[in-house]
Amino acid sequence: MSKKLLLGIVVVLLITNIATLLFVGDSNDSEVVSDGKGEKEINRNEAVATVAGEEISYDEWMTGLRNMQGQKHLKQMIDKEVVNTLAEQEGIEVSEKIIDREVSFLYTMQGILTEDDAVEEEERWREEIKYRYQLEQLLTKNIEIPEEELRSYYDTYGNQYDFSSSVKLSHILVEDMETAEQVYQELEDGASFRLLAREYSIDDETRQNGGYMGSIYTSSQFLLDSYETQAANMENHTYSEPFQAENGVAIMYLHRKLPAIKFTYDEVQPYVHSEVAMHEEGLTLEADQLWEEVDIEWIYENE
């Protein structure tokens, strides 16, 4: 994986994992606050915290948030609108296949996500990935790179654009089929896979983590043949029936199955161009210089 791709993935992960405050309220005294993990109702007229008897009011909290993050967050919103506007004017599109590739990499780097969380995260990832690639192409659209140089770069580093198939797994490994059938029945009755793994699994490396094995490329020697066979016939977020594995009897949970994604030169040529141009010109991935191309007015105009 290239340093650029890794940096891009890390940036998306940072953006999408920072807890944000979303307010869904009206003119009443209460509001619904989301910290990214759940929602709760708060009263604007009550303290949001108490420290050694001293209260922190809702208004003090909001003022602090605006002072610390207001300008930064507004600039990020403007950046996205600028890039979206200019990309539409220039006809700059980002292929779904490219976005799918980066989403797949992000899934391999994330921990366990519930089915609902995965849907929400992927939607945010896709927006950030599209923004980043459009920004790159806007910054480099007037930079000429000889075609033979792009071809040479692709011949050397082209495999970094491909994604190898992988599976994200958890398992419960036991010694015999009788125990496995008992565990399976408990799963069918609604028991937690993670808790059952901690109770029954004989795999010391994964037991305390609820049987979680992480993401494994299907070409890896660490993916047992029996596990690969089971995963091929499973849907995401489902568990298998007990099966005979190489080292015991297993029940496997498939968090996500990610297919291989391969590209031709023509499919990635625009992205190779922007990557090479960004590197050769020493450009940073900032939208500031694009602001001059759009009519912008904002409250921090003179700062």
Q: What is the rounded average pLDDT of the residues 273-286? A: 96
Identify the H or E element spanning 21.
none
Give the phi and the psi of residue 37 in degrees, each rounded to 5. Answer: -115, -25
Structure tokens at 206: 């994964």
Identify the H or E element spanning 169.
strand 166-174
Q: Is the pLDDT of residue 74 over 50?
A: yes
DSSP 224: -
DSSP 160: G
| Residue of 134, 138, 125, 157 lying closest to 272 (CA atoms) | 157
| Residue of 286, 283, 303, 278 lying closest to 79 (CA atoms) | 286
Query: Domain coordinates of the chain in residue numbers?
Result: 3-17+50-161+265-293, 166-258
Mean pLDDT lowest among 22-36, 101-115, 131-145, 208-222: 22-36
Show Cβ contacts of residue 165 under 8 Å, excluding neighbours closer than 6 positions.
217, 218, 219, 257, 258, 259, 260
| Residue of 67, 122, 72, 81 lying closest to 100 (CA atoms) | 122
Under 8 Å between Cβ of 81 and 298: no
Check residue 66 and give its pLDDT. Answer: 79
| Per-residue pLDDT reduced to its tens digit, 127-151 | 999 999 999 999 999 999 999 999 9
DSSP 292: G
| Residue of 208, 212, 202, 210 lying closest to 245 (CA atoms) | 202
Torsional sign, CA 130, 133, 137, 138: positive
Under 8 Å between Cβ of 137 and 256: no
166-258 classified as CATH 3.10.50.40: yes
**Which comes out higher in pLDDT, residue 52 or 143?**
143
Check residue 292 and give its pLDDT. Answer: 92
The rounded distance, in Å, linking the Cα atoms of 95 and 92 is 10
Under 8 Å between Cβ of 230 and 243: yes
Task: For residue 193, give Cα distances in angstroms to 43, 212, 246, 250.
Answer: 38, 10, 21, 12
Check residue 21 and give its pLDDT. Answer: 44
Q: What is the rounded average pLDDT of the residues 80-91? A: 96
| Per-residue pLDDT reduced to its tens digit, 187-232 | 999 999 999 999 999 999 999 999 999 999 999 999 999 999 999 9
Task: For residue 15, give Cα distances in angstroms to 9, 122, 175.
Answer: 10, 12, 43
Torsional sign, CA 106, 110, 116, 117: negative
Q: 88-96: long-range contacts at Cβ-Cβ below 8 A with a sequence spacing of 24 or more?
A: 90/137, 90/138, 90/141, 92/134, 92/137, 92/138, 92/141, 94/129, 94/130, 94/133, 94/134, 95/267
Structure tokens at 84: 């979206």
The rounded distance, in Å, linking the Cα atoms of 115 and 166 is 18
Q: How confident is the model at residue 6 (pLDDT cuts 50, 70, 90)?
A: very low
Q: Is the pLDDT of residue 58 over 90?
A: no
